[in-house]
Amino acid sequence: MGDIMPSMNDSSTILITGAAGFIGSRYVRTVAEDHPDWTIRVLDLLTYSGNMANLDELADDITFIHGDIADVDVVDAAMQGCNAVVNFAAESHVDRSLIDSRPFIHTNVEGVQVLLDAAMRHDIDRFLHISTDEVYGDLAPTAPSSLESDRFDPRSPYAASKAAAEHLVQAANYSHGLNTVMTRGSNTYGPRQYPEKIIPLFVTNTLEGRPMPIYGDGSAVRDYMHVDDHCRGIDLVLQKGQAGGVYNLGARMEITAKAVAELVVEILDGDPSMIQFVKDRPAHDMRYSVDSSAAEALGWTQTCTFEDGLRRTVQWYVENEAWWKSIRQGGDFAAWESKQYANSGK
């Protein structure tokens, strides 16, 4: 395999797994807009956070396959004739992993190995795996941002499953010569995010006049990146990243959970008393921050400030009430909320 991805042309086919989810569906849009000659094939099991409505506007641009990335036969059929694979499929909510970690092992570890095995059988030109900044673990308040070479220190079952998947991807590159690249993204926000995550939870709770629950004292720091910037970074790494390489993607915009809640209240002219501090979750990492210099060296830049991106995101939820209300009124969300009220998300 070469150092970078062989050029895609108008006969190239890309398989995007987890494509009905939040970031995956936005990446499908990125490919459809920026690479109109590519054939787009998508695979999704449509678990609770997968939503076909996220792909409605793209129905004419894609071939949809319903299935599990841990199903060998489904994956084999989906990957037939593909040139590249981008894997978004994952169980991704920390709080759910603390309740039951088994689905995280099934999808995030076993499923990734099934994809890798198929990629080697089908001689895929490039395999891009989407990972997370959570593999680095908790950073001290004054510690420098994490580099790709820093050691892993995952502290939740979710983070541990993603770290395990990364080792499998690297092993496929080292041992079998599969042309792999990986991205480790920071917290991502934007339209169509399942409302158990912190920003859509705060926004939709405020719109419904419900409390905004915040773990502990609200001092946990995250680096929030708009989904549009995240997907442009992923696409750049797919095309220009070095084989075997790993690339952090972060916005360099660290902010506390409390400050996020206060900004949501300001944007929606809400009631500050609805911000409620609740019991912290186990082993809550207090800070994530990544150094994105390697991706920036490829030409990636962030175009969206947090305040501007948050205002646009809030406006999307205001204008698309039917989308999020159908989720919040559904059985899965209601069951999760009743079991773990005051969950502010990752």
- The pTM of the full predicted model, rounded to 2 decimals, is 0.95
Question: Which domains does the chain show, CATH number per domain?
Answer: 13-188+226-249 (3.40.50.720), 193-222+253-287+305-337 (3.90.25.10)
Residue entry with tokens 């009220």: 341
- Give the helix ranges, DSSP H, for 69-140: 72-79, 94-99, 102-105, 112-121
Cβ atoms of residues 79 and 118 within 8 Å: yes
The string of pLDDT tens digits covering residues 245-275 is 999 999 999 999 999 999 999 999 999 999 9
The string of pLDDT tens digits covering residues 193-238 is 999 999 999 999 999 999 999 999 999 999 999 999 999 999 999 9
Query: What are 146's two structure tokens?
Result: 């994490």
Cβ atoms of residues 109 and 168 within 8 Å: yes
Catalytic residues: 133-134, 158
pLDDT of residue 314: 98
* Cα dihedral: 155, 160, 162, 166 (round 10): 110
Is a pLDDT exceeding 70 seen at residue 341? no
| Band of pLDDT at residue 323, cut at 50, 70 and 90 | very high
